[in-house]
Structure 1
Amino acid sequence: MTEQKYVHGYGKEDSERLVKQSEALEGILHAEEDFPAGTQILEAGCGVGAQTVILAHRFPEAEILSVDISETYLAQAEERVRSFGYTNVTFRHADLASTDLPPESADHIFVCFVLEHIPEPEAALANLYRALRPGGSVTVIEGDHGSAIFHPESPAARHVVDCLIELQYRSGGDGNIGRRLYPLLTDVGFAEVIVTPAPVYVDASHPDLVEGFTEKIFIAMVEASREAAFRAGLSDPARWGEGIAALRRTMEPDGTLYYSFFKANAVK
Structure 2
Amino acid sequence: MNTDTAYVHGYSEREARRLGDQADALAALLHAGTAYPAGSRVLEIGCGVGAQTVHLARNSPGARIVAVDRSAESLAQARACLSEQEPGAGVEWLLADLHHLPCDYGEFDHIFACFVLEHLPDPGLALARLRHVLRPGGTLTVIEGDHGSVVLHPDSHHAREVIGHQVRLQAAAGGNALLGRELQPLLTDAGFADVVVRPRTAYADRTKPALVAGFTLKTFVAMVESVRDEALGAGLTTAADWDLGVAELRRAADDGGTFHYTFFKAVAVNPRR
The alpha carbon displacement at 1:100 in A equals 5.5
2:24 match: 23
Question: What residue in structure 1 maps to residue 112 of structure 2?
Answer: 110
Matched, 1:160 2:162: yes
Q: 1:71 to 1:3 in 2, by over 3 A?
A: farther
SS in 1 for 2:98: coil
Mapped to 2, the partners of 1:62 and 1:149 lie a distance apart of 38
Residue 5 of structure 2 contacts residue 174 of structure 2 at CA under 8 Å; is this kept in 1?
no
Give me the whole-angstrom Cα distance separating, in 2, the residues matched to 1:229 and 1:196. 32
Is the Cα contact below 8 Å between 2:5 and 2:121 reproduced in 1? no
Preserved contact between residue 97 and residue 121 of structure 1 (Cα < 8 Å): no
The CA deviation at 1:253 is 2.4
Alpha-carbon separation, structure 1, partners of 2:234 and 2:103:
35
The C-alpha deviation readout for 1:227-257, integer Å capped at 9, x for no partner, is 1112211122211110110011112222111
5+ residue gaps in structure 2?
none
Q: 1:191, 1:267 within 8 Å by CA — same for their partners in 2?
A: yes
For each residue in 1:19-61, what CA deviation from the matched residue of structure 2 results, as whole angstroms up to 9, or x when unmatched?
Answer: 1111111111111123221010000110110011111222221
Q: Is the 8 A contact 2:192 2:268 kept in 1?
A: yes
| 2:34 alignment counterpart | 33
Q: Is contact 2:166-2:224 (8 Å) kept?
A: yes
Q: Secondary structure at 2:256's aligned position in 1?
A: coil
1:231 pairs with 218, 233, 236, which one?
A: 233
Q: What whole-Å deviation, never above 9, does each CA across 1:3-22 have from its counterpart, x for those lacking one?
A: 73111110000100101111
Once the two structures are superposed, what CA deviation does each residue of 1:153-183 show, in whole Å capped at 9, x if it has no partner? 1111011100110001000000000001001
Distance in 1 (CA, whole Å) between partners of 2:215 and 2:9 is 17
**Post-superposition offset of 1:87:** 4.4
Take 1:216 and 1:110, find their aligned partners in 2: how far apart are those partners?
24
Aligned to 1:209: 211
What fraction of aligned residue pairs are identical, expressed as a percent? 50
| Separation in 2, partners of 1:171, 1:107 | 32
Which AA in structure 1 matches 2:196? I
- Alignment RMSD (CA, Å): 1.5
Q: SS state of the match for residue 103, structure 1?
A: coil
State the one-letter code of the partner of 1:267.
V
Instruction: Give unpaired runs (5+ residues) of structure 1.
Output: none
- Length, aligned pairs only: 268
Q: Quote the Cα distance in structure 2 between the aligned partners of 1:110 and 1:2.
A: 20
Which residue, out of 252, 256, 259, partners 1:257?
Answer: 259
1:210 Cα deviation after fit: 1.6
Offset, 1:263: 0.2
Which is worse superposed, 76-85 or 117-126? Answer: 76-85
